[in-house]
Amino acid sequence: MSFHPPRRTLMGPGPSDVNPRITEALARPTIGHLDPEFIRLMDEIKQLLQYAFRTENKLTLPISAPGSAGMEACFVNLIESGDTVIVCQNGVFGSRMKENVTRIGATAVMVEDDWGKVIDLNKVSQAIADNPNAKAIAFVHAETSTGVESDAAAICALAQQSNMLSIVDTVTGLAGVNVDVDGWGADAVYSGTQKCLSCVPGLSPISFSDKATEVIQNRATPVQSWFLDMNLVMGYWGEGAQRAYHHTAPINALYALHESLTILHEEGLEQSWARHRHNHQALKAGLEAMGLSLIVAEEARLPQLNAVSIPDNIDEALVRKQLLENYDLEIGAGLGQLAGKVWRIGLMGYSSNPSNVRKCISSLESCLMAQGVPLTPGAAISAVNKAYS
C-alpha cells in the first residue's frame, strides 16, 4: 500500500514546512545526471548558493547528503591526522564537531560555554594563544539546540588574524539570519536544506574559500572519505561542460533545491531575515502573554529557533503529544542537557508566517489550560495580533 503521511505544520528544529512550489518541482521528470540540461541546472544551483551564502567562492555546491555530511565534508577535507583544531561548544552540535576531529586522529581543543550562551570571544582568543599551531577554529553560528546566534564575524576574524582556517556550521543560520561568508572571511561553511531554506531534507550546501581549496588540493594524505573527497567531487561539480561521473546526483532533490533558492532570490535575503525577525517578535509577544519566557538573552536570540522555558508542574511531553495529535502541529523537545527543560519552536523558512504563529500560540494556550494553567482565553492571540498590527 502507498504511504500517505499526515499533513502537519512543522514548527520544530527542522525539517520545516516545504513550500508547495518546491514539492511540485520535486515531481518533475527525472533526467540523466550528465544531461546538458542537468549540467545547466547544476551551474545555476552553484550561482544561487553563492547568492545565499554571500560569497564568490568557486567551490560552492550542495553535498548529496544531509547537513551532517556537510559537517563531515568540511572536517575530513581540511583536517589531517595529527592536526589540532580549536572547537567551540555551546550546545549539541559542537560535540559532533569534536567527534569529527577525533575520528580523523586530530586533537580537539575545546572552548566550552554554557548552553544558551554565545561563544565567549575571550576564551577563543585564549585558546588561540595557548595553541598557536592549531590549524582551524570550528564553531556553530546558529545553535539549534539552544537558539543562540554567536558572533561569526568576530570568530572568523580571530581565525584569520592567527592564520587558522575557520569552519562554520550555518545549518540553521542560512536564510534566517545574515550568513555573510565573504564578509566574515569564513573558510569552510556548511548548511542544510530542511531548515530556513524549507526544502526537503537530505542535501548540504557547502562553500570553501580559495585558501581552503588550496589546503584540500595540497594535503599530505588522501581524504579518508572517498565519497566526500572534494578533490573528486570537484570533477563532477566543477567548471566547464566536461563532468566526470563521481556519483549520481539526487536529481529531483536538486530540482527542489533550485526552486527553494529561486524563491529565496525572489524574496531577497534581507527581506527573508526581516520576515523571520517579524514573526519571531509576534511569537514572543504571544508566549510572554502566557507567562512563558525564552532562555536566550534578547541580543543573541535566533528568530528561527525559539527555546522556551517549560513552566513548573507541566508535563511537557504531553503538551507536545497533544499539539501533534489534536492540532497536527510539531514543535521540538529539548536536546542533551536541555531535555525536559525547554520546547524548541522553529519559525524556519516557509514555516515562518503569521498563520503558523497564531496556530502555535492558540493551540499551546489550550494545552496549557488543559493542564490547569490559569490563562485568560484569547489574551495571547490578542498580544500576537497587536505585534502584527
Ligand X SMILES: *Cc1c(COP(=O)(O)O)cnc(C)c1O
Q: Which residues bind ligand X (CB under 6 A)?
A: 14, 66-68, 71, 93, 140, 144, 169, 171-172, 192, 194, 201
Residue 298, φ and ψ in degrees, nearest 5: -50, -45
Least CB distance to ligand X at residue 205 (A): 11
First to last CA, the chain: 48
Strand, coil or helix: 132 = coil
Least distance CB 16 / ligand X (angstroms): 11
Q: At closest approach, how far in Å is the CB of 40 from ligand X?
A: 27
**DSSP string for residues in 305-361:** EEEEEPPTT--HHHHHHHHHHHH-EEEEEP-GGGTTTEEEEE--GGG-SHHHHHHHH
| Grid cell in block for residue 315 | 508535563
| List of long-range contacts for 28-32, beta carbons under 8 Å, 24+ apart | 28/252, 28/255, 30/251, 30/252, 31/251
Give min distance, CB of 328 to ligand X, in A: 22
CA angle 250, 38, 14 (to 5 degrees): 35
DSSP-assigned letters across all residues of 210-276: HHHHHHHHT-SS--S-TTT-HHHHHHHHSSSS----SS---HHHHHHHHHHHHHHHHH-HHHHHHHH
The three cell numbers of residue 93 are 552540535
Here the cell at position 162 is: 592567527
Closer to ligand X by Cβ: residue 140 or 342: 140
Between the alpha carbon of residue 305 and those of residues 143, 168, 287, the distances in Å are: 9, 18, 14
Nearer to ligand X, 168 or 361 (CB): 168
Give the shortest CB-267-to-ligand X separation in angstroms.
22
Return left, alpha or beta for 211; rule: phi > 0 is left, psi -120 to 50 is alpha, else beta.
alpha
Name the residue nearer to ligand X (CB basis): 61 or 361.
Answer: 61
CB 77 within 8 A of CB 228: yes
Rank residues 71 and 189 by Cβ distance to ligand X and give the closer one: 71
Nearer Cβ to ligand X, position 147 or 286? 147
Residue 66 or 311 having the CB closest to ligand X: 66
Task: Please classify residue 22 by burial: count the beta carbons closer than 10 Å to its beta carbon, then call 0-12 exposed, 13-18 middle and 19+ buried.
Answer: buried
**CA-wise closest residue to 73 among 160, 203, 172, 199:** 203
Q: How far is the CB of 172 from ligand X (least distance, A)?
A: 4
**Smaller CB separation from ligand X, 79 or 140:** 140
For ligand X, the closer CB: 228 or 380: 228
Q: Which residue is at the shortest CB distance from ligand X?
A: 67
SS3 label, residue 206? strand
Nearer to ligand X (CB atom), residue 140 or residue 216:
140
CB nearer to ligand X: give 162 or 204. Answer: 204
Nearest distance, CB of residue 101 and ligand X, angstroms: 15
- Nearest approach, Cβ of residue 203 and ligand X (Å): 8
- Angle in degrees, CA 267, 272, 275, rounded to 5: 115
Cα gap 195→275, rounded to integer Å: 15
